[in-house]
Structure 1
């Protein structure tokens, strides 16, 4: 690829990312239904025409953000699976990575995008298709780590699906709190995972039968 063309690709990618980051903030504050392209353009400090050059509608932007959030979540889980160590060590790394994203980056807005995508009647049909595809579900992707942890006696013997749902509900709640209360203190990863840990000397069959 010629140098000038390579530079142009870099510029287009950067501009596209600028628009997506601005849109994530706008959607998080206003919701998909109430947000306008003009709001996104103002947040990105770009002209309406330039935003429309990259995206034909706010719906297309929202779908792109949902895909980005879904892929980002799955990427973290899959990376954790490849790490050496026990299942709990993998979950701890995963939790620390997610919490860091909530505290230090714009990724926090993607959590609210996913919540809107899951609860709003106004989202495009393509978003519903993304959410109903189990391949895009971080909950489903996390279940094998939980099952492995149960087999090794690290994680309590409860329904793995329920544990995964509880884990992500915890994470989403923290993201919402951080947006509403900027100074909200984030718990250590160990605090989150302590809910799922087997206690020393605890009989797994006894826990399962409770």
Structure 2
């Protein structure tokens, strides 16, 4: 019995997802220039030709992965804008979500590693500029949230942007350690991370 269009679409989406996961893993760990389309196909368990059904070039795949990262960052920025809850609750929620994502999947760790690798290897494509803007917006919005918490007496005083960068440096370090140690890594609690900020 022939597959329906809906079944074909689901299979196509599943294949594209496999390609993007494999691409993310390899680009982050080997670098853009040292990763071939053949490597990605082998890691995804599909043929090289099937990759070209979804992405015309390796650059296009890399661009899609960065776009997905930017989309995820934008969600975090929107989460920070929720004024219905206190800065402490918002910050705790953001921290808990990031820790959960790092613990449950290597994707977030790979995103952090990919960006670091691109910056160091000068592999950055046009999309990297867009990613940088998105990243900087996240840092700035986090700094605004910290300022709000300081004004309300919830957070310690200090340069809010510096505290924002410190927070994301800690998160990136956690992501890197999780990749390095795998299942042996014991993540800190939300309260451990927020201790630098709470009064």
Normalised by the size of structure 2, how large is the TM-score? 0.88
The count of residues paired between Structure 1 and Structure 2 equals 195
Deviations 1:23-76 (A, max 9, x none): 111112211121111111001001001011111222222222122112212213
Q: Does 1:171 align with 2:189?
A: no
Q: Does 1:26 align with 2:51?
A: no
RMSD: 2.1
Residue aligning to 2:129:
129
**In structure 2, what is the Cα distance between the partners aligned to 1:117 and 1:136?**
16
Preserved CA contact (<8 Å) 1:155 1:197: yes
SS in 2 for 1:141: helix
SS in 1 for 2:8: helix
Residue aligning to 1:205:
none
Residue aligning to 2:121:
120
**In structure 2, what is the Cα distance between the partners aligned to 1:54 and 1:129?**
24
Q: Mean Cα displacement is larger for which, 5-14 or 26-35?
A: 5-14
SS in 2 for 1:133: helix
- Per-residue deviation at 1:187? 0.3
In structure 1, the gaps of 5 or more residues are: 199-210
Q: Mean Cα displacement is larger for which, 69-78 or 21-30?
A: 69-78
In structure 2, the gaps of 5 or more residues are: none
- Per-residue deviation at 1:84? 3.8
Residue aligning to 1:79:
79
